[in-house]
Amino acid sequence: MDDATRARYKVWMRRRILRRIVMPGAIFLVLLVGVVIGLSFFGSDEDDIIYSNEVTEGDEFATEIESLAQPVSALPTYQDFDFSTYDEESIVEIGVDYLNSYLVLVNKVFRLPEDYLPEDLVLPEVLSAWGHDNTNHRMRETAARALEAMFGAARDEGLILWIASGYRSFEEQEYKHQYFIDTHGLEAAEVMSARPGHSEHQTGLVVDVTAASVSALLTEGFANEPEGMWLRENAHQFGFIVRYPYGRMSLTGVGYEPWHIRYVGVPEATYIFENDIVLEQYIFPVQRWEQP
């Protein structure tokens, strides 16, 4: 990531934080100050009132507000990044203000902190591919409830889905990635598994789904089975997306995984599904209407 893109990314991130956190508080503060000034006005002589439009030098909030005035074209798009490969100089560690967002972007550029652990992990009440409860099946609570509803809807149509894996810690991902390096070599391992910190499983928003029709395996063949086809066409109604669709590896950095679904929320998942895009394109929306 060059310096210009990194600067644009920082502006984009500040804008998201400002809109979601700072702006509501600022609006409340402005209203409160307005009330105080109004009361002071009615209780003072007009000659005592000092009017000023000046912004105090170094006013951080004013600087952030000014950044919002930048044209959309100044913000980064998904085309400014190379998500297909790891580049140590381009890797960005995800900031604390964004970690718990349902839209947190984790890939070969954006990395989770080693100590990140979602605080609301629960075990969804769904069928397991292994026939028993497993702590690695945990998800963040909102995502878990959505998964239960989705599995229930599939069951109502005669389709039985199983959860194969959910939350995976940094240390567990480190062990898994090293295993693939030891057994397949570094080049193959970089394709077959994410580096620790770069796995969506650490967010608690992801599950791998399978079924008896594929012998509980995680395989591309799942996409051609009734369960896989139903999942692809209906997951968005429950807030999930198939995170790594066919033919989008250049955008996501990961090959086709029809079993890997990610919770982002119903409106967001519906938009992504209906416009046939991936999360990277949704997060950096300047050109979200373009197809890869």
In angstroms, the Cα distances linking 261 to 122, 216, 228, 234 are 17, 16, 11, 11
- Tell whether domain 80-287 is in CATH 3.20.20.70: no
Integer angstrom CA distances of residue 184 from 148, 192, 193, 278: 36, 9, 11, 28
All CATH 3.30.1380.10 domain ranges in the chain, comma separated: 80-287
Q: What percent of the chain has pLDDT over 70?
A: 71
Over range 281-292, report the average pLDDT. Answer: 59
Average pLDDT, the chain: 81
Token pair 């967010």 is at which residue?
A: 203
Mark whether 172 is an active-site residue: no
Instruction: Find, among 141, 165, 147, the residue nearest to 235 by Cα.
Output: 147
pLDDT in tens, 22-48: 455 555 555 555 554 554 544 444 444
The single-letter DSSP state of residue 290 is: S
Q: What is the pLDDT of residue 29?
A: 55
Model confidence at 287, in pLDDT bands (50, 70, 90)?
Answer: very low
> Cα(122)–Cα(140) distance, rounded to whole angstroms?
6
Q: Is the pLDDT of residue 280 over 60?
A: yes
Q: Write out pLDDT tens, residues 106-144.
A: 999 999 999 999 999 999 999 999 876 677 899 999 999
Contact partners, residue 281, CB within 8 Å, separation at least 6:
78, 251, 287, 288, 290, 292
Active-site residue, selected from the candidate residues 227, 257, 268, 280 = 257
